[in-house]
Amino acid sequence: MGMFDVLKISSSGLRAQRVRMETIATNLANIHTTRTEEGGPYKKQSVVLTSADVSGATFKGVLERKMEGVDVEEILESEKPFERTYDPAHPDADSDGYVTYPNVNVLEEMTDMTAAARSYEANVNVINTAKRMFQKALEIAR
Amino acid sequence: MPIIDLIGKALGIRSAYNKVIAANISNADTPGFKEKDIDFRKELDRQMSYSGPVVIEESGDDVLSFASLDENTVTMEKQVMKLTENSLYYDALVQALTKKFSLMRYIINGGK
Amino acid sequence: MKIDSVNAKGMMEQLKGSEKNGSSFADTLKDSIQRVGQLEKEADKEVEKLAKMESDDITNTMIAIEKADLSFQLMMQVRNKIINAYEEIMRMQV
């Protein structure tokens, strides 16, 4: 257990939320992308988070658990169904005249974005509080 | 100096608790993560008789708990509240300690 | 550790008291100095941990530093009082 483990834990949180934000930004940017390298429309991406030990120290004892931060395990492509819209004039329309659009929902992404921003802010709060507490402790020995 | 030792131990637990809160907030969106907590009164009693790692346990159910669909039990509002509470207690303890030392210094120097 | 205000009268009484117990004043003084040295060493150890980034909690370091500082100051005050008392005795006309 180190003195500044708090900072490591919180910064892992900051990073995870930032990656989440970037994923959301990618989703929104590609909301109308009907063709990709693999063929077919863009698939919505989401982050899969997992708790991870950030202290780098070995597990010390039964009573004291690892100080857990968070890590991005993978970025998942959603297999949710695509949107199909009737638009025969579109260059990517299929034989029935339907265009397949990405499975990205604007409202969902915006909500997720707000949540990510709030979590990011909470992690920043922790860092600020930890800093204040440390500086306060220095007053003990003036 | 029993009171000084007491404050010292309390401060140690408060520092550890800060890390627990950080872990909770950092994992607020991690599926399956269970919110952690420290039973402060029990822990202080325990630390008075032995010096060892702080016991961290899973949060009990209270009016602020809420488990979401992905089985994550961290409630952000509760954690933010705990963060504030913890830091204020910490400040108060440091203040008390500093004053105590200050008083001792004053007496040692014969009131000068 | 009770900090009593130090004065010459208090020292004389302690002298009488410790002589009754069979331990000399010199022994009491030696023990006190050793205790101060011990606190000083503990503080140094904490600061070393801090410098090597091995510290667990800054509060322990600060408390150790302050304890060592205060007991050192107390010792200095005691030393001053003893010297004053000694000089006063030496000035007495025999």
φ, ψ dihedrals at A50, nearest 5°: -145, 150
Answer whether A10 touches B (CB < 8 Å).
Answer: yes
Tell me, yes or no, whether C62 lies in a domain.
Answer: yes
Which residues of chain C form beta strands (DSSP E)?
A: none
Of A1, A2, A140, the CB nearest to C62: A140
Give me B30's structure tokens.
């991690």
State the average pLDDT over residues B55-67: 75
Q: Which residue of C has its CA nearest to A140?
A: C62
Q: Which residue of B has its CA nearest to A54?
A: B23
Q: What is the mean pLDDT of chain B?
A: 88
pLDDT band at residue C14 under the 50/70/90 scheme:
low
The pLDDT value given to residue B50: 79
Answer whether A9 touches B (CB < 8 Å).
Answer: yes
Number of structural domains (chain C) is 1
Cβ contacts (< 8 Å) between A9 and chain B: which residues? 19, 22-23, 26
Cβ contacts (< 8 Å) between A12 and chain B: which residues? 26
φ, ψ dihedrals at B94, nearest 5°: -60, -40
The pLDDT value given to residue A94: 86
Does the beta-carbon distance from B108 to C77 stay under 8 Å? yes
Tell me, yes or no, whether C80 lies in a domain.
Answer: yes
pLDDT band at residue B55 under the 50/70/90 scheme:
confident
The pLDDT value given to residue A1: 57
Does the beta-carbon distance from B110 to C5 stay under 8 Å? yes
Q: What percent of chain C has pLDDT over 90?
A: 38
Residue C6 has pLDDT above 70, yes or no: no
The pLDDT value given to residue B65: 73
The pLDDT value given to residue A60: 47
Tens-place pLDDT, residues B73-92: 888 999 999 999 999 999 99
Secondary-structure percent of chain A, ordered helix, strand, coil, rounded to 5: 45, 20, 40
Cβ contacts (< 8 Å) between C59 and chain A: which residues? 137, 140
Does the beta-carbon distance from A9 to B26 stay under 8 Å? yes
Q: What residues of chain B have any CB closer than 8 angstroms to a CB in chain C?
A: 1, 4, 8, 11-12, 15, 94, 97, 101, 104-105, 107-110
CA atoms within 13 A on the CB side of A121: 9
Question: What is the Cα–Cα distance from A54 to A69, expressed in whole angstroms?
Answer: 6
Which has the minimum average pLDDT: B9-13, B100-104, C7-11, C81-85?
Answer: C7-11
Going from the first residue of chain A to its last (142 residues), give the mean pLDDT of each consecutive group of 10, the final group possibly shorter: 85 95 95 86 92 65 59 89 89 88 94 96 96 93 82
Answer whether A117 touches B (CB < 8 Å).
Answer: no
Answer whether C70 touches B (CB < 8 Å).
Answer: yes
Tell me, yes or no, whether C33 lies in a domain.
Answer: yes
The pLDDT value given to residue C12: 60
A–C interface: beta-carbon pairs under 8 A: 24
State the average pLDDT over residues C34-60: 91
| Closest C-alpha among A14, A2, A128, A130 to residue A71 | A14
State the average pLDDT over residues C70-91: 90
Range of the structural domain that residue C85 is part of: 24-91
Neighbours of chain B (3+ CB pairs under 8 A): A, C
Residue B48 has pLDDT above 80, yes or no: yes
Tell me, yes or no, whether C10 lies in a domain.
Answer: no
- Give the gap in angstroms from C-alpha A53 to the nearest C-alpha of chain C: 17
Per-residue buried b or exposed e for A58-92, using 16+ beta carbons within 10 Å of the residue's own CB: eeeeeeebbbbbbbbeeeeeeeeebeeeeeeeeee
Question: What is the Cα–Cα distance from B38 to A67, expressed in whole angstroms?
Answer: 14
Tens-place pLDDT, residues C56-69: 889 999 999 999 99
Tell me, yes or no, whether C11 lies in a domain.
Answer: no
